[in-house]
Chain A
Amino acid sequence: MSPDTLNAPAPERQAETAAVEFTVNGRPVAVRAGPFTRLTTVLRDHLGLTGTKVGCDAGDCGACTVRLDGRQVCACLVPLAQAAGCHVVTVEGLAEEGRLSALQRSFHLHGAAQCGICTPGMLMAASDLLARVAEPTAAEVEDALGGVLCRCTGYRKIVEAVVAAPSLPQEGNGAAEADEAPSVGRRLPRADGLAKLTGAERFGADAAPAEALWLRAVRSPHASARFEIGDLAPLHAKWPGLVRVLTAADVPGENSYGIYPHLKDQPVFAEGFARYRGEAVLALVGDRETVEAIPAAEIPIAWQPAEPVTGCAAAKAPDAPQLHGFAEGNELIRGYVEKGTPADVFADPAAAGAATVAEGTWRTGFVEHAYIEPEAGYAERVGQRLEVWGCTQAPYMDRDEVARVVGLAPEAVRIRPSACGGGFGGKLDVSIQPLLAVAAWVLERPVRGVYSRNESMAATTKRHPSEIAAKAAADAEGRLLALDFEGDFNTGAYASWGPTVAGRVPVHASGPYHLPNVRVLSRALYTNEPPAGAFRGFGVPQAAIAHECLMDDLAERLGRDPLAFRLANAIRPGQSTATGQVLEHSAGLAQCLEILQPRWRALRAAAEDFNAARRGRTRRGVGVGCMWYGIGNTALANPSDMRVVLDREGGLTLYNGAVDIGQGSATVMLQICADALGLPVSAFRQVVGDTDLTPDAGKTSASRQTFVSGKAAELAGLDLRGQILRLANAGPDAVLRLAGGTLEVVEGGRARSLALERLEQPLEGHGRFDPPTTPLDAKGQGSPYATYGFAAQLAELEVDLELGTVALHRIVAAHDLGRAVNPLLVEGQIEGGIAQGIGLALMEEYLPGRTENLHDYLIPSAGDVPEIEIHLVEDAEPLGPYGAKGIGEPALVPTAPAIFGAIRHATGVVVRQAPCLPHRLRALLKEAGHG
């Protein structure tokens, strides 16, 4: 069944009333539904206009922005009754007669849409502005878009796109770029971009079979509680629309899932004991109105709350309750790396040649992914198979998890990824999929579900809170000698990606520097808090806050310039990492720092002049942060397969299993494969991420898709090219042309056509790449990654000494990513990563039960991301496709350290806790004697 037909009628909460008449995109409509029904529901479910998105139902995200009588409003806050007689314009009404508006084209050309979930809201807010102000300034654009949140782009490209829209040439949407060869290195607009601008893109909540039942989980309001589910008969009797209540007993397969094969510790439904606030204990399945209306008070669950284990210290306390049978002391796992003789250095630093030792402690809190698209999808039983449609970063892993829970062979499950409205690691774990799968299987009916914003935040994974204690030593010449680092990572109630964090941190805790002596111990600890999982950087951002602070400490003690000190210690090709891996190529931190150096000197001097000239209430500062990031899984296999097919009708299709969560892999894979094959991107069709159709390209995480899947796409393209050349008996330099179903091979001025229709089989190119790594030994020695990305960023800011607030002026970023396959997309990743780094540094703190919505949990808005200057260092990685490595996670890691360094430069205070909220910074400033 095609998902496109399909939207169930919405619930009607109030008694049937007369139809409400209004116009939508100029067309008169009459809708019969409850008068308090949200306009979002009316548009999406009654009128089928799913271009208007729902990210919160509370006015906080702006994804639902439409124009009501010209003014931008949140459709989720407009009751149907109040739309009577009004003119509503939605994203579907922006294009005229199929032609994109200048604003839409400008978004496309500027790379202003990544995942695209915020795009309709952004477009509508911007169209309101452009109707009032013909040529708005960037500041006016920020004001107008301030009510729409974007988690992907960092807003800069959106603001640029709006400013540029009025003067955009009449024609052109960048399609011609896709005809150009070579494609690698071009600023090609997203291959999947146009649907994101018209509202046509289908995200998890945008489609389901018309007859689908709705599922709604009921979750523990307690962080720790025993519970008993009572007699359900009265509930069924009262609510005829309730088809089934599912509990742990209904799970046909194993009631457990988890990332690691030996750590399937998270139940689909809790069994008698809930380990965190937000854990599912049962699910209501029925018609939508019913499952949404059933009040908690009528659901027979008897709770016995217990004292929760909160935070790492409580988890380690000798008398702490043990949350999982196997995890003594609530310790899930440890990670360890040791190189050289660090203990000796710290036992007698002077004897070891150390001129100074710096040490400290740091802490960070839970950080929420806050993708604007909450988890959503549907599952459907198709005979003895099960199909799950929805947003994900890891289709093959989802397939295996779903199969296990339902008790099927993996091949009996098909995952069909919808467009994914942001992931950042949070959609690497299954969430709603097992619930939907169990329901659809047991009931033999399609079942759909959409998490509410609060549910998404309470139930799904977070960034691990960290508590780090570390020290570092350097000699009098400013050379790093040793590091000792211990970090506790709060993995919450379930393991999720906790082992990955515990494994990745020790490898990276030294920072991108050469250090002869290193000891790093990491622990992941269970608590009664939300499961902490994967979030852009897997623990490395937390560790970087500590190591970069130590670099600033050491530079200060030695009287050295912080950037020069880092440059002197930057790890270079030929040197070995903390795990003893000798980097042979592509270690471009030194180039990054060299590029930044003139900017650094000028900005530092300007800040110091400003501070010297004014005795006012603000101080300026400039800081630097560095990072490195191993691309792909840590010391584990992580292969990708790619397949490209030239069929007998002349159709060329890339079967690309790498889901695009907004970062642009659907474009990058095409560019790489196109160049390898020798045909333009425009010749390709693409099938993305469907487990029945595409080979496994692994998960979209660990910044691995460009490097690993990209390499596989290159190999697949080369494989197909080789077959074609052999068939045509042509040499390696022959030129291919594909037009109107005919393939021509041109060599030495002579063109020969291949009769594709006469082939017995379509031509298939296969590519597989598994980056070479070695396991780590007991001391963490080995080569855990095939290659590393490097970066350095500068932050320039102004601190208000009296209020403890920080105004960012600028970020200057230099990234070594091997090769920028598509600089437009790369810039988008960097800007988006920086925005998340700003959030981590200055505002984001998830507190269960207290900041469970986007009203109280703050992510940066359009006014919080300053100007960003980007320098790309292309120190080619020989293993990567056309020299490319990865950029997804590296972008975020250096930002918070750079901001903290700048605060220190401005004021002298050392930030040791993220986020550095105004009241925390003010407390530090007072301690330091600033009034």
Chain B
Amino acid sequence: MTEKERTKMALTGNEAFAYAMKQINPDVVAAYPITPATEIVQIFAKYVSDGEVDTEFVAVESEHSAMSACIGASASGARVITGTSSQGLALMHEMLYIASALRLPIVLAEVNRALSAPINIHCDHSDTMGSRDAGWIQIYCENANEGYHTLIQAVRIAETVNLPVMATLDGFIISHEMEVVESLDTQEVREFIGKRKPLYSVLDVEKPIMVGPLDLTDYYFEHKRQQIEAMKKSKAVIKEVIEEYNTKFGFDFPVFIETYRMEDAEYAILAMSSAAGTMKEAVDIRRSIGEKVGLVRLKVFRPFPFELLTEVFKNVKAIGVMDRSDSVNSMGGPVFNEVRSSLYELETRPRIMNFVFGLGGRDFPMEDALHIIDRVKELKDGKKLDFVEYVGVRE
């Protein structure tokens, strides 16, 4: 731990992402504006115009082309970052799979926003959850400070495992809220990320390679298998990079999950992103009246840290899993289903239910957070409850 006094900056989530990008100084940024991530592109474009970065900025005509250009640039050995949200991520969908399968370490600053229809610009997680199987590492950040640091770490993680990484912040709630960010010096950032050392490049005209060939029944599966293995192995790398970062710069960012007052918890809530902040306070409130409740914040959703979840939940009697999106499959949200599946091997078999909340930016007030805790307490006490409960909606 260095005792260094960190520079404190008051930044919104978008500014924090953009500032990290400035310090990273990527070779290529190809991006397209969309609320609430627009500012990332705007701020970065200004850095380019003012000569504060020497990035080649490609102001593409769509997100599909943004990701396509990122793919071209990354396959050329460049360090590449883009940013988007919601419909933009959905439009990139086809290319997300191609980026990851071509093993390109692209970094994406994502701002979570609901998917149309109805069109809505506010926060939920349906956009990134819709890409959960696209082969990208997904890191859901709680606040602007974590977003800033995660984007820097993402560069190292991506380039070590040759997989793309998206770091996300909650739209408006975080992207537009001013917070204190404890920043690194640019020199520290540059040293930490080093230079990209690509294995191959299509710009190597002396050693021509073909990227993205046709792969039929005889090889496709082997290539996919390798990609799956890379995602599995990325767990060790994510841990290593975040721990090194913490030690080097004196932070204590959680790696995959953050546990809050879980030591003697009898029941627990699992939440992601900014809602975890609210939930921590709710846990404190209930703890103050003697409730043995704890919180697990799931930060890395891909790769899915099921081993840690099995471990952390093995002694609780009931769990409430919060989802800010729904799978529209009649059995709740994606986080719920994966968490529940992780617990299958547990002899203790904790009871578990799902709370879908905050769709389309619906406010998540303290009373709802407390309500969720109280419901899980009822579940712990043996009450029969619905499998999935929709919180904060008029029914």
Our verdict on whether A and B bind, yes or no, reads no
Report which A residues bind B (CB closer than 8 A): none
